[in-house]
Amino acid sequence: MKNAYLFGLAGVVLLLAGAAQAQDFTPKSKGQFIVTTRLTTVAPDESGDIKTAAGVDSGLEVEVGNSTVPTLGFTYFFTDHIAVEGILGTSKHKIKAVGAGTDVAVHETWVLPPVVTVQYHFNPKGRVSPYIGAGVNAMIFYEGKDKNGFKVDLDNGFGTAVQVGVDVALKGKWALNFDAKKVFFETDADINSGALKSGVTLDPWVVSVGAAYRF
C-alpha cells in the first residue's frame, strides 16, 4: 500500500508537470524563502515485540495506525543548490496489541514530529527541480488516551531522516511539491506500570503532496 501511494503521487506530479510547460515561472535561487502547504500521510513501518517485565515474549506485537494530516514546510536557500527545510505538523495514531487471536487497541496518541533537513536541489533553474535531503527529527507524544484497561507510556526522543522530492513550477511563484521522507526512530513503551514493555521501532514514511509559494 505504501509503494502504491508513492507511485500514485508521483504520477500526479508528472501529469501536472506536463500541463505547466507553457507557463512562466520563478526559478529557485540563493536567498529565496519557500512556504509549502501539504497533505501528508504518516505511515509507521513499525516493529516491536511485547514482553513481560522479566523479558518473556508475550506473543504479541505492537501495531501503529497511519494518519493523514495537513503540514507546513519552510525552506530557505543558502545557495542556488543548497537549502534547509523545517516541517511542522501533528498526527494522531492508534496503537494496538496484535497476535494470535488478539487485536486490541491499547492507546491513542498525538505526535509532534518536527523534521529539519539539509537539501541539495539538482536543477534549481528548471521547471522540474528534484532534490534530496538528510537531517534530524524529534518525536514528542502528547494527549495520549489509554484504551481497554491498558496504561501506556511512550518515551519522547530524537531520530534521523532522509528525503527525496521534486518541485514542479507552475505559474509565477507557485509550484507543486511532491515529497517523501523516511524517518528512523525508536521508542520504549511501558505498559501497565512496567508489567509489559516493548522496544518499538517506528521508522515512519512521511509522504506529502502540496503547493509551494516562492518569496
Over range 142-150, report the average pLDDT.
Answer: 93
The CB density around residue 34, as the number of other CB atoms within 10 Å, is 20
pLDDT tens-digit map of 2-42: 455 555 555 555 555 554 454 689 999 999 999 999 999 99
| Separation of CA 182 from chain center | 7
For position 100, what pLDDT does the model report? 86
Mean pLDDT on 109-113: 94
Give pLDDT tens digits for 67-108: 999 999 999 999 999 999 999 999 999 999 998 888 999 999
Which one, of 195, 203, 186, 157, lies nearest residue 60 by Cα? 195
Query: What per-residue confidence (pLDDT) applies to 169?
Result: 95
pLDDT of 102: 87
pLDDT at 22: 47
**The pLDDT value given to residue 20:** 47
DSSP H stretches of helix in the chain: 2-19
Instruction: Identify whether the C-beta of residue 50 lies closer than 8 Å to the C-beta of residue 196.
Output: yes
Q: Which tens digits make up the pLDDT trace of 160-215? A: 999 999 999 999 999 999 999 999 999 999 999 889 999 999 999 999 999 999 99
Question: How far, in Å, are 3, 39, 83, 123 from residue 208 at the CA level?
Answer: 13, 6, 18, 20
pLDDT at residue number 213: 97
> Three-state SS across 52-85?
ECCCCEEEEEEEECCEEEEEEEEEEECCCCEEEE
Residue 158 has pLDDT above 90, yes or no: yes
Amino acid at 136: V
* Cell numbers 513481560: residue: 52
Pairing label, strands 157-169, 205-214: unpaired
pTM for the whole thing? 0.84
Residues 180-209 as b/e (b if ≥16 CB within 10 A, e otherwise) read bbebebebebbbeeeebbbebebbbbbbbb
Backbone CA torsion sign across 61, 66, 71, 77: positive
Burial (CB count within 10 angstroms: exposed 0-12, middle 13-18, buried 19+), residue 149: exposed
pLDDT of residue 193: 87
How far apart, in whole angstroms, are the C-alpha atoms of residue 14 and residue 11?
Answer: 5
